[in-house]
Structure 1
Amino acid sequence: MNKYRNVFVWMLMIVMTILLFNLLNAPKKVEEEMIFSEFIAKLDAGSVEEVVITENYVTGRLRDGKKFKTYLAVYPDLVKDLKAKGVKITAKPPDQNPWYVNFFFSWGPIIFLVLIWIFFMRQMQTGGNKALSFGKSKAKLVSDKAVKITFADVAGVEEAKEEVQEVIDFLKSPQKFSKLGGKIPKGVLLVGAPGTGK
């Protein structure tokens, strides 16, 4: 059980490290959102210095140094107009997540469910109806080497101690009493007021 807990902790730490790495390395958005008609107006005015065209967006820099971003509408003559204004054009494929992020989000839930299933199957195979018992047993193993308590350690009425001593002797060696005709008792009933050490 402890081995599985360690594996789970390590997997959780790896996933958290990957997510933190992605958050820290995420590109910071410094571009100003611009509507497409404003972008065309700036292009016609010659204010656009360079652009990067992706699948759905145009990002770039104006001549005054400001960065912008606009959604790419259907405009067949865009590249021709950009060339006519002397704008530096770069085309890029759409941003893609690293392979491990895609792997984590596509296969992560399936792997997690398989691990849970394996965990439950192993718990059921160990026996003792442990499939749903996640805690440890509170039972303690008592050995013969534990502290021994004798009748000398017990206070009380001497006659009662002697009678209990006889019962213990009978339980330890019943053959001795059986030879004399004694019958093995089914149990022992101790009578007395509460708190008297029965």
Structure 2
Amino acid sequence: AAEAKVPFFATSGADFVEVFAGRGAARVRALFKAAEKAAPSVIFIDELDAMGKTRAAVRLSGNDEAEQTLNMLLAAMDGLTTKNNGVIVLAATNRLDVLDRALIRPGRFDRVVH
């Protein structure tokens, strides 16, 4: 981002993990809103697996907040592609195997670099 001379929003997936309903989703919404306002910009989410585990695993744990947060991330990323607003989203994980498949479908995190 420094080379591209655009605002860089760096965060960790763990920053979105909350125990109170709606807080994680609100943080996702705020991040994407700030990045859109500063566009062109880059969002980088480290440890994506902290918030992007498969929804089946989340349901087994009974964590509705985690599912709401993941759904907000998916909706926010879909909004970027429909608006074409100059925001690029990158993420890193050591656990690609636990990510929800909806995260790595075309139009979202569809390019994997090892």
TM-score range, shorter chain: under 0.3
**TM-score, normalised to structure 1's length?**
0.17
**TM-score, normalised to structure 2's length?**
0.25
Asked which structure has the greater RCO (Cα within 8 Å, sep 6+), the reply is: 2
